[in-house]
Amino acid sequence: MPDVIQLLPDSIANQIAAGEVVQRPASAVKELLENSIDAGCTSVKLIVKDAGKTLIQVIDDGSGMSETDARMSLERHATSKIRKAEDLFTIRTMGFRGEALASIAAVSQLEMRTRLADRELGTLLVVEASEVKKQEPVACDKGTSISVKNLFFNIPARRNFLKSNPVELRHVVEEFQRLALAYPSISFSMIQGDELVYDLPAGKISQRIINLFGRAYQEQLAACREETERVRVTGYVGKPEFARKTRGEQFLFVNNRFIRSNYLNHAVMTAFEGLLPENSFPFYVLFIEIDPKHIDVNVHPTKTEIKFDDERAIYAVIRAAVRQALGTHSLAPSIDFSEDVNIISKLSQSGKPMEVYFEERFQPATIRASADWQKLFETGLPNSRLIGADEKSELFDKVPRVEPELTGGLFQLFNQYIIQPVIRGLMIIDQQAAHERILYERFLNKLQSKSGESQQSLFPQAVTFLPADYALLTEMTPEILALGFRFEPFGKNTIQILGIPAGLRPGREKELLEGLIEQFKGNQAELALPLTENLARSLASRASVKAGDKLEPEMMQSIAGELFSCTAPNYNPEGRPTFFILDLPKIQTYFNR
């Protein structure tokens, strides 16, 4: 039998390695910027065209390379960062594996110009799919300039998997932001096409945050600092009232290396417990400084995963640092003495969690056809009558925070629930969940028919987005117009809103569109939804009435009526029940009948 195992050619081996290191243009941006930082630069410029598909160029004023080092940098496992295995546990540089440049050169047309400070001439290298096409002396500035052209030109299948330009640009911006935050002492600039996206001077981390995300962040930052013998945590957290519906603006660095860690993120969220609105996430930029011997960064080629020898200790220090920051800025939760403690204590007498108490007693009814729900409203409750005005006043004065408004049998409870007498008992409608279902189906129909009606804004509002969000807005413009929004360009990363979907309350144009983008990103990160469904769910979530909103009688009637015209009235788009039926036999059991 002939031998079948053979050594792969370097060109194929490099392409295989590139699959791990260079997944998209943003991956190449990350590796090139990190090399510039490791070279000791004081300024670095990033230029991209077509979101990096056509061109990625990184220019720095770092140490530069000799002719020999320039050629060696394109070989696999060639690095200046480590010499022996033990060096892996003393790493303070961004790179160390010696794979990045070789991998990028394997799947692109790469051009490098580099010069040492004490040399008159530098070196020009032109490489195509790992093959060196040209090497010659060249006059150039001190430092290094690397141009990556036509990424994945020799792997059409990989290029076809790339997303649209706005999506890829968003990933590029994310990588740029992470490194710009990690090194505020270095000036960063970014150009997309002919547009200057960022021009960030060197300065403090607080200044870098404001320059990256806008002046609105100036008023929400709370300084954070905690130190032990082993670890130090510094940085900033955002005030709870500025929390967003997405996790995007959460940055955790270990020795200036951006990492992802659900466990340490949980430490931050625990410190915010009781302060955040439901399903909201705070802004934070936290830096963990620790001796490299206590961590292992050689876990994955992207180097965003790190192992700690005592992760629980890091968790405790982060939580303490964030709690102290919130306490110092008087952001700790206060006790609400207006809470109806009598009702809560009564519900707790069963010894079960409140959610279980309600779930066991108030089983949700399932309405499958219009005939089913119409029967609920055919007659009033057996042996029942409406309470007169005097009786109502006397009765409800004794129950704190319950302010019913009788309107054809409807009233609002705790500004959260709509109570509707039906033939089987009492229907309890969750006003927010029900309104989300109504709006979701309305918006989905508009998107599918592309017939979104719009109401003109009396006072057009200008909205400025982060570059990545503006790119996302641009990509989804046809669908957003189909919802009923109307807007036009109004400067750099800015639009002017001229109209909003018909039926929505005017005056909230900016809040609605910003919220739509935020909610869309959150859904995109956590759920695999088609574009139209994601948009319909996102806008329904942001435009619906909320728990705590006091509703006018007409609004209560509208929600109660429209809910059962929906194709799926039982649940909101996220799967939460929209209503319960508390039937008469169940009510009678509470009176020993």
294-305 pLDDT, tens per residue? Answer: 887 766 666 677
Q: Write out pLDDT tens, residues 498-545.
A: 999 988 888 888 889 988 988 888 787 677 778 899 999 999 999 999
- Tell me the residue length of the chain: 593
- Separation CA 121–CA 507 (nearest Å): 62
Query: pLDDT value at position 539?
Result: 92
Has residue 104 got a pLDDT over 60?
yes
Q: Assess if residue 508 is contained within a domain.
A: yes
Q: Using 50, 70 and 90 to split pLDDT, how confident is the model at 41?
A: very high
Closest CA to 442 of 532, 513, 308: 532
Q: In 10 A of CB 364, how many CB atoms?
A: 14
Confidence (pLDDT) at 126:
96
The H or E element spanning position 159 is helix 156-160
Q: What pLDDT is recorded for position 393? A: 42
In a domain, 503, yes or no: yes
Phi-psi region of 148 (alpha: psi -120 to 50; beta: other; left: phi over 0): beta
Q: Structural domain tally of the chain?
A: 4
Question: For residue 407, which amino acid is it?
Answer: T
Q: How far apart are CA 220 and CA 226, in angstroms?
A: 20
Q: Is the distance from CB of 307 to CB of 293 less than 8 angstroms?
A: no
Q: How far apart are CA 263 and CA 313, in angstroms?
A: 12
CATH (domain of 503) = 3.30.1370.100
The percentage of the chain sitting over the pLDDT mark of 90, rounded to a whole number, equals: 43
Please tell me the distance from the alpha carbon of residue 332 to that of residue 330, in angstroms, as a whole number.
Answer: 6
Q: Amino acid letter at 217?
A: Y
The model's pTM is: 0.68
User: What are the pLDDT digits (tens) for 335-352?
Assistant: 333 333 343 343 344 444
Q: Answer with the one of 543, 561, 581 that is the final residue of a domain.
A: 543
558 is a domain residue: yes
Q: How far out from the chain centre does Cα 548 lie?
A: 26
CATH number of the domain that 147 lies in? Answer: 3.30.565.10
Neighbouring-strand partners of residue 578: none
Do 91 and 193 belong to one domain?
yes
pLDDT tens string 424-470: 788 999 999 999 999 999 999 999 888 778 888 888 889 988 888 88
Which pLDDT tens digit goes with each residue over 297-330? 766 666 677 888 889 999 999 999 999 998 877 5
Same domain, yes or no: 524 and 561 = no
Question: Strand 250-254 and strand 187-192: pairing?
Answer: unpaired
Q: What amino acid occupies position 404? A: P
* Domain housing 421: 341-433+551-589
Element (H, E) at 259: none
Residue 71 covered by a domain: yes
Residues 51 and 163 in one domain: yes
